[in-house]
Structure 1
Amino acid sequence: MQLNLKNPLVFFDLETTGINIVKDRIVEISYVKVFPNGKEEVKTRRINPEMPIPAESTAIHGITDEDVKDCPTFKEIAKSLAAQIEGCDLAGFNSNRFDIPLLVEEFLRAGVDLDLNKRKFVDVQTIFHKMEQRTLAAAYKFYCDKSLENAHSAEADTYATYEVLKAQLDRYPELENDIKYLSEFSSFNTNVDFAGRMVYNDKGEEVFNFGKYKGQRVEDVLKNDQGYYGWMMQGDFPLNTKNVLTQIKLRSFNSK
């Protein structure tokens, strides 16, 4: 089934130095850009993470320090990458929880202002887990009847994710071939920041999604515990989370 698109949809996958959104870096990014007319554009880039790649990460994706020593840094490709995904919706496998937050962090560190707030995000893993509870390799076998060769290479995982979504639409008639619908269906909650440290409650208010203030309105916490903002700003939180927290604090201050 060909995807019903209003905007180009970029399926992407990251290979990284680890799974810490704040500290780890991208070593490879691959994407399949699918246009509304069905045209596909595929690109893979190796990236110098400017830090050693741990052996346990190399064991997963096969990329070594030697492989990326002469590759550009993310900062060197950030502007061109931002231009390539400008105006596109984004899709991936576990992308809402990992790939998108980490990608946003890399752009912020590079000083590139990429506004993703109006984009739609389709997480194929979430659709799969809601329907079947499996992994990407199992999803590829289940939906496409193919074995996933070169698993954990960014390009193989990216293209498999694209094929799985199309097969999901074929298999489940109740799934609408509409990116807005798929974005909402593949979201477990409505994040305020990309890492999900803050979410919207059923009244559309920002509340904390972790720690001792979980479920409490962000504005109330910042008002009643004035040291909490400073603790978060100095803590090991993503830059995007800190930026969003600051916006809420300034909004509350300006409304007085």
Structure 2
Amino acid sequence: MKLNLKNPIVFFDLETTGTNINTDRIVEICYLKVYPNGNEETKTMRINPEMHIPEQSSAIHGIYDKDVADCPTFKGVAKDIARDIEGCDLAGFNSNRFDIPVLAEEFLRAGVDIDMMKRKFIDVQVIYHKLEQRTLSAAYKFYCQKNLEDAHTAEADTRATYEVLKAQLDRYPEELQNDMAFLAEYSSFNKNVDFAGRIVYDEKGVEVFNFGKYKGMSVSEVLQKDPGYYSWILNGDFTLNTKNVLTKIRLRESGLTTK
């Protein structure tokens, strides 16, 4: 089934130094840009993460330090990537929980101002898990009747994710709508305020903490009740995006604004 697109959509996949969205870095990115008229563009690039790639990570994606030694850093290509995804919705496999937060962190480190929250996020893994409960390789086999060759390479995983979403739309016409707003809502577990999901909107649209001792409590109330909690988060092992979002809420509640 051809996707019903109002905006271009970018399917993307990251290979990284590890699975910590706070500290790990991108070593390869591939994105497949699909236009409303059906035209497609693909780009794959390797990135020098400016840190050692742990052997256990290299064993999965096959990328070693020597393979990226002469590649550009993310900061060197960040503006190009931002330009390529400008005005596009974003889709991936486990992207809402991993790829989107990691990409947002890299943009922040590179000093590139891009408001990714304006986009719709379609996570094909969430759709799959809600309907079938499998992995990407199994999803590809199940929906597309093909074996996923070169699994855990960014390009193969990106292409497979795109094909799986189209097949899902064909298979579940009664459950799914060929509409990016619907798919973004369907593939979201929570209405996140930050990409990592540390702060979410409750059923009334109020920003609440989604972790720790104040889970479920209003962020603004917690900041008034326990001002030290803000400093604890800013000095803690949280993503830059989470800290930025919390700061904006704090400034808003204080009657101030950010630039």
TM-score range, shorter chain: over 0.9
Where 2:116 maps in the other structure, the secondary structure is: coil
Residue-by-residue CA offset, 1:61-88 (whole Å, 9 max, x unaligned): 0000000000000000000110000000
| Structure 1: 4+ residue segments shifted above 2 A | none
Q: State the partner residue of 2:200.
A: 199
Q: Matches of 2:250 and 2:220 in 1, distance apart?
A: 7
Letter in 1 for 2:219: V
Please report how far the alpha carbon of residue 118 of structure 1 lies from its aligned counterpart in structure 2 after TM superposition: 1.4
Structure 1 residue 100: Cα displacement:
0.1
CA distance in structure 1 between the partners assigned to 2:12 and 2:22 by the alignment: 20
| CA distance in 2: counterparts of 1:192 and 1:117, whole angstroms | 9
Matching residue of 2:134: 134
Aligned residues: 255
> What is the rounded CA distance, in whole Å, between the counterparts of 1:33 and 1:191 in structure 2?
25
Note the 1:65-76 alignment, pairs <5 A: 65-76=65-76
The C-alpha deviation readout for 1:156-177, integer Å capped at 9, x for no partner, is 0000000000000000012100
Structure-1 residue corresponding to 2:186: 185
CA distances 1:179-226 after superposition (whole Å, capped 9, x unpaired)? 000000000110000000000000100000000000000000000001
| Residue pairs, 1:105-184, within 5 angstroms | 105-174=105-174, 175-184=176-185
User: For residues 148 and 117 of structure 1, what CA distance do their matches in structure 2 show?
Assistant: 31
Provide, for residues 6-65 of structure 1, a one-character-per-residue CA deviation record: whole Å limited to 9, x for no partner: 000000000000000111000000011000000000110000000000000000000000
The alignment yields a C-alpha RMSD, in angstroms, of 0.6
**How far apart are the structure 1 equivalents of 2:222 and 2:119?**
29
- Match of 1:221? 222
After superposition, give the CA deviation of every residue in 1:87-123 in whole Å (9 maximum; x if it has no partner).
0000000000000000000000000011012100000
Mapped pair 1:86 → 2:91: no
Q: Distance in 2 between matches of 1:117 and 1:139?
A: 28
| Aligned equivalents of 2:53, 2:110: Cα separation in 1 | 20
- 1:59 corresponds in structure 2 to 59
What residue in structure 2 maps to residue 234 of structure 1? 235
Distance 2:236 2:94 in 1: 25
Q: Secondary structure at the match of 1:41?
A: strand
Percent sequence identity is 73
With the length of structure 1 as denominator, give the TM-score of the two structures: 0.99
- 3-state DSSP class of the match of 1:254? coil
